[in-house]
Chains A and B, each alone.
Chain A
Amino acid sequence: MRRPAAAPEQGEGRGLSMIYRLTQGMLESTFEQFRRCGRGHEECQALWVSSWDNPETISGVVHPKHAAHFGGFVLDDDWLNTFWLELGNINSGIRVQVHTHPREAFHSETDDKFPIIHKPGFLSLVIPNFALGPVGFKDAYLTEIQPDGRWRQVAIESRLVVT
């Protein structure tokens, strides 16, 4: 179910979140994964991670093991345990969760309630049309966890820079 979101305001919430840089190659790799895994009829998720030593620079795109269908996905529990330990071993954190929607991009009630990270400043990016459109952020939806735990839509260019 679609939920109304407050209009994004440039700069709002800054200080709790930072601007992340990722390469065009990472963005292309994310779209390629969505198209290959989702095949135009299932949702898919990717996780953008970076080192705690240099958090603003996204260093990897992770494809979680998951079950998916037309209107949703669930991460594999065992995979999540292994990945959690791996993050500790490589001193990295998850900065952005990215997933596809069949049609328009927005944050559903399920998206709001079951993110992978719960910290204020954590970002969730939704890509429309199973990522079958052009690689980029056109019609995408970015939202951020606020200090009170609520999600608030933010302007993509205020948080993500593709280099």
Chain B
Amino acid sequence: MLDKTCCPPSEQAVEHLRKAEHDLEQARRKEREAQKEVAEAEAEIKKAIEELEHPRVFKVEVLYDGIKKQFEVRVEETVKHLLDQAIRAFGQLPQPHTLALYNDGKELVDKQTIKEAGVKPCDVLLLRPSKVKGGA
């Protein structure tokens, strides 16, 4: 802002001031744009890390009778979908309703999605009967 003085400022000085104020405004605009770009880049990085840590499509292994087979899963697919795929891959096993997938010692719930079931990339899931018993 111009201070009021007894002597009017020279046109050159006024012009200099206007230019400086314009330059300052330009610099502030660039700063706001840069801040916006930084925020966008940070969001992209966060999204990329999220995708790395929690990819939507990844591979798991299923183990049955000592043999491992690899499957590609999507996080939104159900456990049942993978179970059916595995049963087919291991030779259309009879009595499929008696088989289940296990991870970390726990039976996975058929209706849950891969994400809800906590299945992660490179997990080794066990395809095994829910119960093994015999009796005369």
The interface of chain A, by Cβ under 8 A from chain B, is 43, 45, 52, 64, 71-75, 78, 80-81, 84-85, 87-88, 90-94, 97, 99, 101-103, 106, 108, 110-111, 113-120, 145, 148-150
* Residue on B nearest A90 in the bound complex, by CB: B66
**How far apart are B72's CB and chain A's nearest CB, in angstroms?**
20
Residues of B110-126 contacting chain A, CB below 8 A: 124, 126
B2 within 8 A of A: no
Are B134 and A119 in contact, CB atoms less than 8 angstroms apart? no
B92 to chain A minimum Cβ distance, whole angstroms, is 9
Identify A110's interface contact among B66, B99, B124, B133, CB under 8 A. B133
B124: which A residues are within 8 A, CB to CB? 85, 88
B135 interfacial contact with A, CB 8 Å = yes
Q: Are B129 and A118 in contact (CB under 8 A)?
A: yes
Contacts of B67 in A (CB 8 A): 52, 88, 93
Q: Are B94 and A145 in contact (CB under 8 A)?
A: yes
> Residue on A with the closest CB to B66?
A87
Q: Is the CB of B66 within 8 A of A115?
A: no
Q: What's the Cα separation between A108 and B133 when bound, in Å?
A: 11
What 1/0 flags go to B61-99 for Cβ under 8 Å of A?
001011110000000000000000000001101110011
Determine if B66 and A72 form an interchain contact, defined as CB atoms under 8 angstroms apart.
no
In the assembly, what is the distance between CA of A114 and CA of B98, in Å?
Answer: 8
Task: Answer yes or no: B58 CB below 8 A from chain A CBs.
Answer: no
Residues of B within 8 A of A90 (CB): 66
Distance between B134 CB and nearest chain A CB, rounded to angstroms: 5
A116 and B64 alpha carbons, distance in the complex (Å) = 11
Chain B residue at smallest Cβ distance from A101? B136
**CB-based nearest B residue for A67:** B133
Within 8 Å CB of A145, what residues of B? Answer: 94
Q: Is B136's CB under 8 angstroms from A114's CB?
A: no
Partner of A75, one of B63, B94, B133, B136: B133
B132 in complex: contacting residue of A74, A78, A87, A120, CB < 8 Å: A74
12 additional A-B pairs beyond A102-B136, A119-B93, beta carbons within 8 Å, are: A43-B135, A43-B136, A52-B67, A75-B132, A81-B105, A85-B126, A88-B68, A93-B65, A101-B136, A108-B135, A110-B134, A113-B98
Q: Across the interface, do A149 and B68 meet the contact criterion of CB distance under 8 Å?
A: no
> Shortest beta-carbon distance, A95 to chain B, in Å?
9
Task: List residues of chain B with CB within 8 A of the CB of A80.
Answer: 128, 132
Question: Is B131 part of the binding interface, using a Cβ–Cβ cutoff of 8 Å?
Answer: yes
Q: With A and B bound together, what is the CA distance between A148 and B66 in angstroms?
A: 23
